[in-house]
A and B are shown apart, each in its own frame.
Chain A
Amino acid sequence: MNVDRLELAETTPPEELLALDEALVRLEGFDAQAAELINLRFFAGFTQQQAADLLGLSKRTADRLWTFARAFLFKEIQADQ
């Protein structure tokens, strides 16, 4: 049994995912479409172009929304710590 391997796998801190989840809830309250974009790209694994198509946005608009969503989440997660 390789215990080291298990330790390594656990380096994904669940608190981080939890913090992201909480920040996402706040983003949803602020701007639902931005949260949707994060969900599509981060969790569902769509490319930016695919996510833009699904949301009915131009790629450029989606890029700008992504910039905002990412900054918002980062700000919220930092504020939590």
Chain B
Amino acid sequence: MNAEQKRLAREILADAVEKPDPGERVVFIAQACGTDSELRQLVDALVQAHEQAGDFLQQTIAVGEDNLIGEGPGTVIGRYKLLQEIGEGGFGLVFMAEQLEPFQRKVALKIIKAGMDTREVIARFEAERQALALMDHPNIARVLDAGATESGRPFFVMELVKGIPITAYCDQHNLSTAERLNLFIKVCHAVQHAHQKGIIHRDLKPSNVMSCGAQASNSGA
């Protein structure tokens, strides 16, 4: 299919679905495609898909402009005050935060990005929190608390791991191959712990494995 046929397919589809009368629509498509049967076949398939698509991809899009104003340093969520952003994933933001009560301490607070709080993302986020909560391993960041913002977006609070990505740590400390492997064995033990609990991380990478001296800690499931 050439570029002109592709362009026509797009335009004919968009025009066709704006015609509410099915009869009128069929006539329009027939005229617009003329004798190009390849084009006709594609347009017919697209129109059919359009009719059957229902709310496919639609529920994700209902983002009001208001929702795009997100949390940032200084924002207070429940008993946590956000200090600075320390990480960003596809759907979530991680902040260093200060717990204000019952005692003050620094924690890591992970929250869904403003405007990304679709049903699907929330479900995945909840699964991550739940998975982390099942973990009980010195080298896996612990979940301390969970809740939702005033606008209903879920967040969870983890212990703050003050470390740097494991690869940077190895380079900064000029670790030998044997030392690197020893560190890696600790990572493997933490991952094995997760696997024994039936959890697969699916996003293991150096920036998710923080190292701070004796420990390697692994966050995010």
Contact = CB atoms under 8 A, between A and B. Distances in A.
Contacts of A10: 127
A74 B57 CA distance: 9
Given A31-B10, A42-B57, A65-B10, A71 B126 contact: no
A63 B126 CA distance: 33
A9 to B, nearest CB: 3
Interface in B198-213: none
Given A9-B123, A31-B6, A75 B45 contact: yes
Looking at chain B's contact residues, the main secondary structure is: helix
B126 A64 contact: no
A72 B49 contact: yes
Contacts of B130: 2, 5-6, 9
Given A9-B124, A12-B124, A72-B46, A45 B57 contact: no
Interface string A53-75: 00000000001110110111111
Interface stretch (B29-37, B59-67, B179-187): B59-67
Contacts of B65: 47
Looking at chain A's contact residues, the main secondary structure is: helix
B47 interface: yes
Place the interface of chain B in its size category.
20 to 34
Interface residues of A, number: 32
Nearest to A46: B63
A47 B64 CA distance: 8
B113 interface: yes
Contact of B127 (A9, A34, A41): A9
B50 interface: yes
Contacts of A38: 57
Nearest to A61: B14
B53 A71 contact: yes
B188 interface: no
26 contacts: A5-B126, A6-B127, A6-B130, A6-B131, A8-B126, A9-B123, A12-B123, A12-B127, A42-B57, A42-B60, A43-B90, A45-B115, A46-B63, A63-B14, A65-B10, A65-B14, A67-B14, A68-B9, A68-B13, A68-B14, A71-B13, A72-B46, A74-B50, A74-B52, A75-B48, A78-B49
